[in-house]
Amino acid sequence: MNIETFQVYCDLVETTSFSEAAERNGITQSAVSQQIRALEDRFGVILVERGRRNFAVTPEGEVFLRSARSILDSYRGIEEEFAEMRDIVAGQLTIATVYSIGFHELPPYLETFREQYPEVDLQVQYRRSNQVYADVSENLADLGLVAYPQERKGVEIEPAWKDRLVVICPPSHPLAKRKKLDLKAIDGERFISFEPDLPTRKAIDGMFSQAGIQVKEVVEFDNIETVKRGVVIENAISIVPGESVGPEVASKSLVRIPIDGKFIWRPLGIVRRRTKAITPAMREMIRILKTKKAEG
């Protein structure tokens, strides 16, 4: 049994797709099926249910998944320890990030990292906040990037930077000519919200509560791109990180208005697994994230 077989199985469970697992591992779909069948024959169990439409992991499959991940972690740990001994910045580095950071703030840092360390296989996963913590905790990602970071079991948080929250609206909106806004100025306005479980939404709700205002919620979305689109379609307003609307402001499809007051900064944090050794690639990515922002 090869170590690659464990990776194939983990990828199959994560993607729930034989074709995607095959693509990830550079093999054919039939090869994936053969490897899974060989595992089942070897242990005398069924690992996955193969319905035409439904894919499901059996209880035995869950047991095998935990063991496979543990074996892969141990195997990668050997590579990481050797790399640390050589202090070579190479290997694989996986970052899990929330959409707003990944789409709008992370790209220049990734470009810098790739220029400096071309030997690193750098991969980015775009997730909701809770999934970022889970990916890091379960060792599916080496580092995570979240807004309003919170201490959670099994992970450590390192402060990264802060970005500024702003009000956005279409150019035709009555508030579009304002140079700056107090929160009380948006009391009663039609508002495009993030979904209630997202940290930025919770922070905005807290801002409104402290300011003693209420808005007329039009619709909720789970990511920043649809929030911005909703603002345009509904001729409404929203509150988002200022750096996330640069292209729309440049094209004049949205107006960005600074908020006056103390509720304007959104902290961002780097998440890493508490028991995971910091590899040279992780160390250098953390350095770039923090140094470049300080320089900017």
- Rounded average pLDDT over 121-131: 91
What pLDDT is stored for residue 264 in this prediction? Answer: 82
* Cβ partners under 8 Å of residue 243, min gap 6: 104, 105, 163, 164
- Strands 216-221 and 190-194: what pairing? parallel
Amino acid 72: pLDDT: 87
- pLDDT attached to residue 54: 77
Strand, coil or helix: what is 88?
A: coil
- What pLDDT is stored for residue 85 in this prediction? 61
pLDDT higher than 60, residue 295: no
Mean pLDDT of 78-105: 81
pLDDT at position 87 is 67
pLDDT score recorded for residue 296: 44
Region 129-153: what's the mean pLDDT? 91
- What the chain holds in terms of domains, given with CATH numbers, is 1-86 (1.10.10.10), 163-266 (3.40.190.290)
φ/ψ (deg, to 5) at 161: -160, -175
Output the CA torsion sign for 265, 268, 269, 271: positive
Please answer whether residues 10 and 64 qualify as being in contact, where contact means their C-beta atoms are separated by less than 8 angstroms. no
Average pLDDT, the chain: 88
User: Over pLDDT 90: what percentage of the chain?
Assistant: 52
Quick: pLDDT tens for 33-45: 999 999 899 899 9
Query: What pTM does this model have?
Result: 0.63
